[in-house]
Structure 1
Amino acid sequence: MAETIIIGAGLAGLSAGYHARQMDLDYELYEAADAVGGCCRTVERDGFRFDCSGHLLHLKEPYFQGLVRELLAHNLNVISRNAVVYSHGRFTRYPFQANLFGLPGEVVKECLLEFVKSYHGSEDLPSRSYGTFYDWIVAKLGAGIGRHFMFPYNQKLWTVPTEEMTCEWLSEYVPKPNLDEVFNGAFEDQSKGFGYNASFWYPREGGIQALSDALAARVPNIRLGESVEAVDLDARCVRFASGKSASYRRLVSTMPLKRLVERLEGPVPADVRAASKRLRHNSVLIVNLGVKGGDLTDKHWIYLPEHSFTAYRVGVYTNFSKALAAPDTTSFYVEIGYQQGWNVDKDALVQKAVEEMVEIGLIRSLEDILVQEVIDLECAYVIYDRQHKESRKTILDFLAKHDVASIGRYGNWEYSGMEEAMLQGKEAVENGWNQSSAGLKSTG
């Protein structure tokens, strides 16, 4: 019997394994797929290397900056963001709220007037003080910026209206410029960087898989192709679809929290099962494209807030790293949000989104597409509705009592990035499994 069983070889699970080894803890790590990385994986198709949409490193903690530099050594670029918004038939700088310059005059006027009203009419309250994300947008940015970007874009991304969302997740994710910055950005082309992702790190070669592989190389005892069938809390045993089983004293799970509860056997209270059913998430179709022609755009990604466009965002892999494709080609990812319960024709959505790439001017012709691959990410973004906080707490507190730490973006059921995933893996082993719903760093 291993002291610790870790489920999942994404960054959270790999970090848990890495730090368990650093502490000389007895552990085994199991992964359902045939490769490590989870969502931080890269696949190769006909000379193109595609990630599972954009996975860029935004590192604040000196410890993880040092660890990533050690893992990737010289295989690392530090990049200044070049992101834009496409609306009203033109490109403007991101973030929209600080870069109204170039938009039609009536749009600029509307956004400025409403911003001034909100600026002088709202108290400087923390984001969690607002009832809904909609309320926060109107109070902090104004209804004009809401109508022309924040409301439609976020509904396309999250697949629910902003009125249904709380502000638990906001933290640093939505830039809030001051009055001078908004006016400067309305009357001149302002190049100031705003937000947590104004610069980022990315591997020179190998895609984001390079980071996953570098971490996995320092984590022995990884078993691939082992999908969890059940977790028996009484017996402290994990059973796998292969027929294998593994006993543990402590368990770290990075699988989606809803899925973990579905796999639980033993004394699971009704309120925990009910809380799991209340957890919501969206799904995303990621359309990876390899296209003829180099330098089709110098942008890293493009936001598409208008409902007339199918996708909510387009990114350009080859502007993160030219090594991801052959010379004179460009690789893109196109992101389309949807809900599993929607009656949608996914093939039609993909086709329309690809055709719109030509309309926007990012691709010259559909005939230039050399490779097209679709990833259907069933669990993509956790939805922060009014039931999220209590439902999540009910489950995590119950699991902690049974020495189960549920970590990572989906295990901890939160909106967070790669640094948070690695941090939670580290904390899970260093904290001696004294996890509670408040015991892990979280944006929720």
Structure 2
Amino acid sequence: MEAIHTDGDKVTGVVARDEAGGTGLISGDYFVSTMPIKDLVTALQPAAPPGVREISDRLEYRDFITVGLLVSKLTVQDPQDRDALIKDNWIYIQEPEVLAGRLQIFNNWSSSLVRDPDTVWLGIEYFCYDTEPIWKLPDAEMSALAARELHRIGIIDEADVLDSTVVRVPKTYPAYFGVYARFGEVRD
């Protein structure tokens, strides 16, 4: 995203860079942003007021790693139906002996997310900063860590892991401290 053109409080178009490095204006009636607020405010044309830019420049973010593990089965069971997959989509992990913060069971979002219904795709989520050692772990080590941690808390047996993938997403979540207390000034 190179620029966000506005007229008052309405976005009228965006200047985007394509894969070849060229730029072009995209006009529309509706726009949705998933970019960090700092980047959004910086891209505004005309420029946002100096106070808004100062606040957005100081916002902090947490980064995010998700490890996808394809497993043949879970060791944890649904208490009402021991032959069924547990029903949860997301499970927050609070155990102090692991770094993982949340578990997703993709099968429970949609059966279309899993090619083989006899397997289970899990997403093990880690909230961190890109300066922490965990962010820099090679993918194979990150996958092994996720499998060990899920084994430690009784979700899977490590031997049941069939495949894995790792996705790192910088600046995923705003940090709700520091200058975030003044975020309303940016939003308004």
Q: State the TM-score, normalized to the length of structure 2.
A: 0.71
Hey, what's the Cα distance between the residues in 1 that align with 2:117 and 2:125? 25
CA–CA separation in structure 2 for the residues paired with 1:393 and 1:302? 30
Counterpart for residue 14 of structure 2? 238
Deviation sequence 1:82-110 (CA, Å, 0-9, x none): xxxxxxxxxxxxxxxxxxxxxxxxxxxxx
Please tell me whether residue 308 in structure 1 is matched to residue 97 in structure 2: yes
| Cα separation, 2, equivalents of 1:272 and 1:365 | 49
Q: Distance in 2 between matches of 1:343 and 1:291?
A: 26
From the superposition, tell whether residues 314 and 232 of structure 1 become closer, same or farther in structure 2 (CA, over 3 Å): closer
Shift of 1:320: 4.7
CA root-mean-square deviation: 2.9
Q: Counterparts of 2:120 and 2:76 in 1: how far apart (Å)?
A: 7
Partner of 1:394, secondary structure, is helix
Q: Deviation of residue 323 (structure 1)? A: 5.1
Matched, 1:318 2:111: no
Q: Read off the aligned partner of 2:186 and give its amino acid letter.
A: I
Q: Is the 8 A contact 1:233 1:267 kept in 2?
A: no
Secondary structure at the aligned position of 1:268 is classed as coil
Of the candidates 150, 164, 170, which is equivalent to residue 372 of structure 1? 164
Which residue in the other structure is 1:283 paired with?
63
Matching residue's letter, 2:184? K
Q: Which residue of 1 aligns with 2:125?
A: 335
Mapping of residues 7-46 of structure 1, within 5 Å: none
Matched residue, 2:82: none
Deviation per residue, 1:263-320 (Å, 9 max, x gap):
2243433222211112222111111111113775333244332332020222322345
Q: Is the 8 A contact 1:318 1:330 kept in 2?
A: yes
Return the letter of the residue paired with 2:99.
T
CA distance in 2, matches of 1:263, 1:337: 27
* Deviation sequence 1:394-444 (CA, Å, 0-9, x none): 323xxxxxxxxxxxxxxxxxxxxxxxxxxxxxxxxxxxxxxxx3xxxxxxx
Q: TM-score, normalised by structure 1?
A: 0.33
What's the CA shift for 1:353?
Answer: 2.3
The residue correspondences of 1:14-413 to structure 2 (distance < 5 A) are 228-233=1-6, 237-242=13-18, 243-246=23-26, 252-256=31-35, 257-293=37-73, 297-298=77-78, 299=86, 300=88, 301-322=90-111, 324-325=113-114, 326-344=116-134, 345-347=136-138, 348-366=141-159, 368-390=160-182, 392-396=183-187
CA spacing shift, 1:294–1:232, aligned 2, 3 Å? closer
Q: Secondary structure at the match of 2:172?
A: coil
Counterpart of 1:371, as a letter, is D
Given that 1:231 and 1:265 are in contact with CA atoms closer than 8 Å, whether structure 2 keeps it comes out as: yes
- Between the two proteins, the alignment pairs up a number of residues equal to 166
Provide the rounded CA distance (Å) in 1 between the counterparts of 2:5 and 2:163.
44
Structure 2 unaligned spans of 5+: 79-85
CA distance in 1, matches of 2:5, 2:104: 42
Contact 2:6 2:44 in 1 (8 A): yes
C-alpha distance 371-315 of structure 1, shift in aligned 2 (>3 A)? same
Aligned residues with identical type, % of pairs: 25
AA at the equivalent of 1:241: R
What is the distance in 2 between the residues matched to 1:233 and 1:385? 29
Verify the 8 A CA contact 1:295 1:330 in the aligned structure 2. Answer: no
The equivalent of 2:83 in structure 1 is: none
Stretches of structure 1 that go unaligned for 5 or more consecutive residues are: 1-227, 397-436, 438-444
C-alpha deviation, 1:358, in angstroms: 2.1
Matched AA of 1:304: I
- SS of 1:244's equivalent? strand
How far the C-alpha of 1:255 sits from its partner, in A, is: 3.2
More strand, by proportion: 2
